Copies of this chain bind each other. A is one copy, B any other.
Amino acid sequence: MQNRITNLFGIEYPINQAGMIWCSGWKLASAVSNAGALGIIGSGSMYPDILREHIRKCKAATEKPFAVNIPLLYPDIDKHIQIIIDEGVKIVFTSAGNPQTWTSILKEKGITVVHVVSSALFAQKSEIAGVDAVVAEGFEAGGHNGREETTTMILIPLVKNAVKIPVIAAGGIANGKSMLAAFVVGADGVQIGTRFVASIESSAHDSFKKIITETPEGGTMLAMKKVIPVRLIKNKFFNQINEAEQKGASIDELKNILGRARAKHGMFEGDLEEGELEIGQVSAQVHEIKPAAEIVKNIWEEFLATKKSVAEL
């Protein structure tokens, strides 16, 4: 199968692994890329030197295309951009910020740019800013997502209608069936986060990986909408935040509870009670920790099998 996404990235399957803080370093990204999908280094949790190291190791580990994700609100954003250019990274996914600011600078260097959005309006703004594709991320996605709470099923057709560039669906997708469902409503590709956090090569702490495979339906919830919305596993920290929110806590009060380095503490260091555990709703469908290549293969085979069974409906 060839389509606009496989052609844009030069990959075999229209699947990319999400660039995620604390979980997607060079090991995961190169494993995914070697399996024929697009691996992404998540730079949001990396100091500039660390990012450089991950890019170099990724280049050494794969000859296939890979990308780097940059949250545009990152404080050292200009250093990150410079490293990406210096190291010859060919694909960049930007998120959490205005694509107007950096897209043209990256494009001038011949870099393919994809921006992550949670609404059709921002998809249009991204297209105007010159990006090559958008990731449209629904309410069910893990980590930080949109304030309007539009779900993948509704968001994808709206974004598809709003732009001419390819649309990558994110949020709620962890297997070949949900991948095909996203294609049915208009996606040209899918971005998968949660399932790859629960991979052998993910740099998430083993305890975090394990709890993902045990998270039941209803085990995550969007929190901290007043600060910046984030989907979390319901643990002790979540309960504390949730209780404060129910009482009408202010932004400052919530920020105080959050404190510093909670995400690292939870996802990277494995504190399942006090840590901030960002994950998608679809964790309720993820029950195994597997090698990334096997995950890619399973998703793709199920996508093809489901496509066949749809014809027989």
Give the oligomeric copy count: 2
| Sample of 26 A–B contacts (CB below 8 Å) | A119-B218, A121-B217, A139-B140, A139-B151, A140-B150, A140-B153, A147-B218, A149-B218, A149-B281, A150-B218, A150-B281, A150-B284, A151-B153, A153-B172, A153-B173, A154-B172, A154-B217, A154-B284, A157-B285, A177-B184, A177-B186, A178-B185, A181-B185, A246-B248, A247-B248, A248-B248
Measured between beta carbons, the chain B residues less than 8 angstroms from A186 are: 177
Of A15-23, A94-102, A288-296, A305-313, which stretch is located at the interface? A305-313
Residues of A within 8 A of B (CB): 1, 119-121, 138-140, 147-155, 157-158, 171-173, 177-178, 180-186, 217-218, 221-222, 226, 246-249, 281-282, 284-285, 306-307, 310-311, 313
Among B149, B184, B248, point to the contact of A306 (Cβ < 8 A): B184
How long is the Cα–Cα vector from A149 to B281 in the complex, in angstroms? 9
Nearest opposing residue in chain B for A174, CB measure = B154
Measured between beta carbons, the chain B residues less than 8 angstroms from A222 are: 149
Measured between beta carbons, the chain B residues less than 8 angstroms from A147 are: 218
How long is the Cα–Cα vector from A139 to B149 in the complex, in angstroms? 10
Among B150, B153, B181, B284, point to the contact of A217 (Cβ < 8 A): B150
Measured between beta carbons, the chain B residues less than 8 angstroms from A149 are: 139, 218, 221-222, 281
Shortest A195–chain B CB gap in Å is 13
Assess the B148–A310 pair: CB atoms within 8 A: no
Q: With A184-B184, A218-B119 known to touch, is A158 a contact of B285 (CB < 8 Å)? A: yes
Shortest A239–chain B CB gap in Å is 15
How long is the Cα–Cα vector from A212 to B75 in the complex, in angstroms? 42
How long is the Cα–Cα vector from A186 to B310 in the complex, in angstroms? 11
Measured between beta carbons, the chain B residues less than 8 angstroms from A173 are: 153
Assess the B281–A151 pair: CB atoms within 8 A: yes
Assess the A217–B172 pair: CB atoms within 8 A: no
Assess the B153–A181 pair: CB atoms within 8 A: yes
Assess the B285–A154 pair: CB atoms within 8 A: yes
Nearest opposing residue in chain B for A162, CB measure = B217
Shortest A36–chain B CB gap in Å is 17
Measured between beta carbons, the chain B residues less than 8 angstroms from A306 are: 184
Assess the B140–A154 pair: CB atoms within 8 A: yes
Nearest opposing residue in chain B for A140, CB measure = B151
How long is the Cα–Cα vector from A153 to B107 in the complex, in angstroms? 35
